């Protein structure tokens, strides 16, 4: 099911675009179905290409060459990586100093 999901999006998007073409008389419904189909088609292609790129990078570098335990945290910021190309940055909390006057 997981492997077929992008193809399901692409198929549903193409089907919605065909239905949108057939419903040419009804402008509002045809436009709504057409935009939904275009979004599903684009989403399916994006997911398909991102999975292909992720697998290619993973096979090139190996599954354990970059892990969060091999990257030491810096004192000013800690970061964690999720998908390739994404980094979430967490800065340390700064406490306000009280004035002694």
Token pair 């190996």 is at which residue?
A: 62
pLDDT of res. 83: 56
In a domain, 56, yes or no: yes
- What is the pTM (predicted TM-score) of this model? 0.55
* Contact (CB, 8 A) for 10 and 28: no
CA-wise closest residue to 69 among 57, 59, 78 = 78
Rounded Cα distance between 7 and 15, Å, is: 12
Residue with the bigger pLDDT between 32 and 77: it is 32
Range of the domain at 56: 1-60
In a domain, 82, yes or no: no
Q: What is the pLDDT of residues 49-84, one digit of tens each?
A: 998 888 888 777 766 555 555 555 554 444 455 555
In a domain, 17, yes or no: yes
By the 10 Å C-beta count (0-12 exposed, 13-18 middle, 19+ buried), 4 is classed as: exposed
Number of folded domains in the chain? Answer: 1
In a domain, 83, yes or no: no
- pLDDT grade for 88, boundaries at 50, 70 and 90: low
pLDDT of res. 76: 47
Assess whether pLDDT exceeds 70 at residue 4.
Answer: yes
């Amino acid at each position: 099911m997981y492997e077929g999901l992008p193809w399901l999006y692409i198929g549903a998007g193409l089907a919605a675009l065909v239905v949108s073409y057939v419903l040419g008389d009804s402008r509002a419904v045809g436009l709504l179905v057409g935009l939904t189909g275009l979004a599903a088609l684009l989403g399916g292609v994006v997911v398909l290409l991102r999975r292909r790129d992720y697998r290619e990078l993973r096979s090139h570098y190996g599954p354990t060459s970059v892990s969060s335990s091999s990257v030491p945290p810096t004192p000013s910021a800690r970061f964690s990586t999720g998908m390739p190309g994404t980094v979430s940055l967490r800065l340390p909390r700064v406490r306000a100093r009280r004035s002694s006057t």
